Structure 1
Amino acid sequence: MLTTWLRRRAVPVAAVGGSLLLLSLWLVPGDVAESQNRAEVEFPAVSPQALTEAETFAHVDRALRDRLGAQVPVVHVAGAVSNDVGMSPNSTTWLGEGREPFFAVDFIYPCRGNPARIDAVHQQLQDDTAAVQGNGAYIVYTVAPDKSSIRDEELGVLRDSLLNCSDRVRSAFAGWGEAQDFPLITLWDRLEHADSSRQGRDDGAYYFGDSHWNADGAAVWTRALLERLVDDGVVSSSVLSDLDETSTAPGEVVIPDLFRNMGLTETVERVEKLYDRPGVTTTTDTVVNSAGTTLTHKSSTSAEAELVPGKTLILGDSFLRTHAATQLAPFFADVTFGSLADYEDVADYDNVIVERVQRNAVEPGWPDFAGVIG
């Protein structure tokens, strides 16, 4: 039986052993402050027995603190190994201590954002802001936090290494949010507060089996955005009074994305949280932009309730589509929703709002407004 057990684990053992050997030879030191003041922690010896022990992963965690370059391959390898020993169903998901799944890419994609890349993103967002504002329009950006960044306590002893790069991205955007050298809404503190009261699996601010926020999580952004629009003089504070009156409505029934990646077929109904705005009528149609893409367009009218005036373009990813667009629509007189790639006609809008998830925030793919407006 021992021989069979060893044979089944020969591939992951070889993968880990080979990866750690290569990493020990070729990794560049990370820019963690303490790495310059003490010897690097050695990687642990690898054996089939070691792969079943939590201390092995904790030891790898300590070694990784000095080796930023190790982040991507080790998350891949550890994900595959944890799958093999029954800790995780596959290498695309990471199961937390409460068996809650998280996207492994939360821990990988941010590592591509080295200091030069982060600086380039910062410069682009400043340049794009200047281009939009120079065209006479309003603009504001938002980063939607990853669930792993909010529920980091679920990551246990590996928390610091798994979120090593993600924390750097968070720190960069948090600093930019404080400096406001381009208009940015940060949501980590607000979402952590909203999520702290969760009782059931899909309570708080995020879904259990999904990487996205639930309706209450989306409502955190809805409120933060409207408060920012009020502060910036785009609309009066009267719109905020309508945030206190809410109702629910049946929503889409889906297999949550992380459950789907794990091969599970359990569904969840994404119940919508709606804001009751007396006298506001909202209609939905579509528009086709100059690139030939069909976008969702919503118009609202009211004889008494205030609406964000002008034409508004809101671009985002799946976090925008998950509850947020539905919540925001009745607050805007004329709003078009698109993906991050649908910015060709940005010069035609009075207000521009951009949302992007944390894990992709330092990846290429931010709208190139300066390139369009010139």
Structure 2
Amino acid sequence: MTDRESVRDRKGLDRGALRADLRAAVPDATAALVITAGIFVWLYARVREGTSATVEIMPFLADADTYLMYWLCQAFGWSAMLWAWLTTMLGLLRSGRQPRWFPVPPARLERWHRSTSLTTIALMFLHAVFFFTEKARANEDGLGMVARWGKAFVETFVPGAYPSGTGKIAILIGLLALYLAIPLGLAYYFRARLGARSWRALHRFVLVVYVLSIWHTLLYSSNVWFDGWPRTTLWLLQLPPALLLLTRLLVPARPSDRGGALRKRPLALTLRVGAVVAVAGVIATIVVVAVSGRDGGRAHGVDGAGLNVTQAMVWTGLALFAVILVVAVGVARRMERRQTERRSVPRGKADERAGQFTSETQ
């Protein structure tokens, strides 16, 4: 590597880390493909046997061979959901205070987290790609090839363009999850340009991607359309990450997020308390759903209620999320500049400048 390339890497993309993580993701992605194949076979068999909830909702999908790409889309969606859960768990384990008896060292947890994150993004993308190919295959409007593929691309990849049913909201939410996962998930490889604090601030928001993915699955996945054990199982799977997040909030790993240091930053303390209350509410909801077996989903033989969320609500939420993200990164960058400035002060003048900045522990 030349000096010029080395400088560019330090200021921009960390190519070395990305290449290493891509190599590390090969066995991980291979396992994901094997599991996806298993899910596809299971879904296909259920269609052939007439036991698929999806076919109960949409009888025209009973021809499993004709709609192979749709079932591949479903299979990749479920493996993406599984890998999103896995990488979220690894990330929360890595970011918390690990007990001495924990069998996996932090560095290995971090490598696993990064490789599973890359696999998750790829699975999410393939989930969308097979939905696109299925839409393009079904030429219901008698369109030519170019128009058919163009219409399918718009409805699949343009947020808010899907025209009908629950997909008006669910596909919008799924696309937002995909498009947020890419910058938030890959921000690690630009941390030299972003700065350590800014990168951490960005990376914390990746939990929103997981929440959107769960929402997309519960709202749209026809495999868990009805109340019952599939939906209850999906809810129960959210209990471990919710408990880990609560532990992470109550017992933070970083000294700057604890006790006295946090009390000196009223806004951060307020946000932390609000997050603890919200996560505790989620845990209580999961327990109620698991006990009752009902979460407001559709019931067999009963017409479901109409959508209670509009696209305007989703876009408003996204705008609010963007504002919060920008403010958080702005605060992180300001704190990083102050720390850099403090370190650049000559040692003899340190006492004169010490009172101007808040001490922060990296």
- The TM-score, its normalising length taken from structure 1, stands at 0.32
TM-score when normalising by structure 2: 0.33
Specify which structure has the higher proportion of helix: 2
